Chain A
Amino acid sequence: MNLSPEKALAIATLARLEITPDQAAVLAAQMDDILGYMGKLNELDTASVEPMYTPVDQAGMLRPDEVRKESTRADILRNAPESDGEYFIVPRIV
C-alpha cells in the first residue's frame, strides 16, 4: 500500500489532531510501514472465525443504576481548565 501525506492529514483531522505538512510526510511513511506489516494477517483465512472483542466470558455484568454521591461539584471542577464554579466553560458554540 501507499499512504499519502494528504491521507495522513485527513486522518489527523478525523482524530482531532493538528499536524504540519512535514509531520504528515514522516507519519505517512511510518504508518505505511506499520500498516504494511499488519497486512500479514491476510495470510490467514478467518472466514469462519467469530471475532473476539474481550477475553472475559461474562463481560458486561451490570449493577443497579443507583445514584451515589461520591464527589462534590467543587472537587470535579477543580481539574477543569475553565469553569465558573457551576459549569465547565468552553468557547462560544452558537
Chain B
Amino acid sequence: MSQIHCLSLTQVRDLLRTRELSARECTAACLDRIARTDPTLDALLHVAGDEILREAGLLDTAGPDPSRPLWGVPITVKDVLATKGMPTTCGSRILENFVPVYDAHCVAKLREAGAIILGKANMDEFAMGSSTENSAFKTTKNPWNTSHVPGGSSGGSAASVAAGQCFASIGTDTGGSIRQPASFCGIVGLKPTYGRVSRRGLVAYGSSLDQAGPMTRTVRDAAEVLQVIAGHDPKDSTSVNVPVPDYVGVLGQRESLAGLRLGLPEEYWGKGLTPEVEQACRTAVDLAAGLGAEIVPVSLPHTEYAIATYYILAMAEASSNLARFDGVRYGRRSPHVQDLASMYTKSRSEGFGEEVMRRIMLGTYVLSAGYYDAYYKKAAQVRRLIRQDYLRALEKCDLICGPASPTTAFAIGQNTADPLQMYLTDIFTISLNLSGLPGLSLPVGLGRDSNLPVGLQLFGGSMDEVRMLQVAATLEAALPQLPAPPLP
C-alpha cells in the first residue's frame, strides 16, 4: 500500500480497524512521507523517533479497539500544545529545551482515542503571525508552491496535513490561525466555539480568544477529531459544561440544502477581495443556492473595527500571559546574568523574537496607567458591538458565509517589512474570535490566477458546529475535488 498518504483519516482508520493495514505500517508510511517531504516544506519542528513505531507495534499486538475512534491514526500537533515527554517550543528560542511534564487536555484525549502523536508542527512564535515566517527556527513552505507561505500561525499543521505527512493536525486559532492556513493549503480547518475544547496545556497567547481545533483533509475527518477533543475539562474554568453532540453521525444526512438560510455579509464580499478569490467563493455560494440554500444579505457593520479591536485585546493579554517567561522555572536563562533584574530582562530579550517583543510592548503600553481606558476598555466595548453584529445577523440566517482571506497564499517575504500590513491580512478571520463563535474553512477550488487554494468560511451560532459540519460536508461532496498538491 504505497499511497497511504493519499487516504483520508476516516479511510485509514477503517483499514486499521479491519487489520488491512497495521498501525506500525501506517506510522512507518507517515515517517517515510515526512522524510521525503519535510526537507522541502519544513512543516515540523520535532518528529518522534522509533518510540512511536514501538507504540504502534504494541497497538497491533493488542489488536484494534473499536471503542477508540482514532486507533492507530498518526496525527501531528501544533507546537503550542503541551506534549508529555516531547519538546514543546511554541516556535520560540525561549522554550527551545522545554519538555512538558503533562499533556494538553486535547492531546490526552487524542491518545485515549488511540491516536499516535507523530510530531510537533511549526508555527509563528507563540502563535503571533499569519505566515509562519515568525518561527524562530524555520519558515514553513506552502505544499502548493514552495515560494509561498502556508499561512499562520498554524502553518506547519496545515502544510503537514496538505502534504500527507499525517491524517490530521491540531491547530489553534486566536485570530484565524486555523482557518487562514487551512485556506492557504487547501484543507479543512475548524475553530470550535470558545469553550468547546479545553485550553489546558495550550500555551496562552490571548486567553479570551485562543481555541484549539482540527485541521484535516475532509469535513468528515474534522468531525471525527472534534468528537474526540470536544468536551468539558474541570481544569479549564472557561471550558463550557454542555453535552457534546454526535458530530459524525449527522454527516451525510443532508444532500439538499433546502431550508438553509446562508447569510452573506456585505462587508466580506466587496472591497479588498482579489477577483480570483471572489470568483471561487461565489461559485461555491452559487452551488449552495443550486442545492436549495436561500442566500440572504446580512451585515456585520463593525467589521472595519475588528483588526484594531483584536490587536489591542490580544496584545494586552499576550503581555500579561508572556510575563511567565522569566528564566526561573523553565525555558531559557541568559548566560549574561548579574542580578535578578538582569536575569529577567536578558533572558526575555535574548529568548523572544522581534514580533513577540513588539506585541508585548504594545500590550504593556495599552494596559499602562493613563492609556487603559482609551485602548483596552474601549476595545472591550467594541468587542461587544462586534459580537452583537454576529448575533443579529444570525437572526436572519442559519450560517454566515464569506471568504477566509482576501488573497490566496502570498509569497514568502511579501509582508514581513511592515507589521501593520501583515495584521491587515487577517481581516476576514479575526472578528470571529472576538465573538467566540465557531467557524470552518472549506477548500472550494484553486484561484484562476495563482493556482493556489481558496477557502470559504462558514460561521455558526454558539455551539452550532453540527450544522456547520453538515453543510460543509454537503458542499464538499458537490464541489470538484482539489487535486493533490504538486509534491514528489
Contacts and interface: CB of A to CB of B under 8 A. Distances in A.
A41 B384 contact: no
Contacts of A69: none
Given A55-B435, A79-B99, A81-B332, A91 B358 contact: no
A34 B361 contact: no
A38 B314 CA distance: 13
Interface in A51-94: 51-56, 58-63, 70-71, 75-76, 78-82, 88, 90-93
Interface residues on A, range: 35 or more
Nearest to B335: A81
A93 B348 CA distance: 19
Contact of B375 (A8, A38, A80): A38
Chain A contact residues, majority secondary structure:
loop
Contacts of B333: 81-82
A27 B362 CA distance: 10
Interface size class of B (residues with CB under 8 A): 35 or more
B349 A49 contact: no
B372 to A, nearest CB: 11
Interface stretch (B159-167, B174-182, B237-245): B237-245
A41 B366 CA distance: 13
Interface in B346-397: 346, 348-349, 352, 357-358, 360-366, 368, 375, 377-385, 387
A25 to B, nearest CB: 14
Contacts of A42: 378
B361 A17 contact: yes
Nearest to A28: B361
Contacts of B312: 38, 41
A90 B348 CA distance: 15
A56 B308 contact: no
A61 B241 CA distance: 9
Contacts of A49: 381-382, 384-385
Q: Do most interface residues of chain B lie in helix, strand or loop, or is the interface mixed?
A: helix
B326 interface: yes
Interface in B384-437: 384-385, 387, 419-420, 423, 434-437
Interface in B160-197: 194-195
A52 B383 contact: yes
Given A46-B385, A71-B101, A91-B339, A19 B234 contact: no
B329 interface: yes
Interface centre among B97, B349, B352, B368 (most CB of A within 10 A): B349
Interface string A18-59: 110000000100110111011111111010011111111011
Contact of B364 (A11, A41, A80, A92): A11
7 contacts: A16-B345, A18-B348, A19-B349, A35-B365, A46-B381, A61-B237, A91-B337
Interface of A: 8, 11-12, 14-19, 27, 30-31, 33-35, 37-44, 46, 49-56, 58-63, 70-71, 75-76, 78-82, 88, 90-93
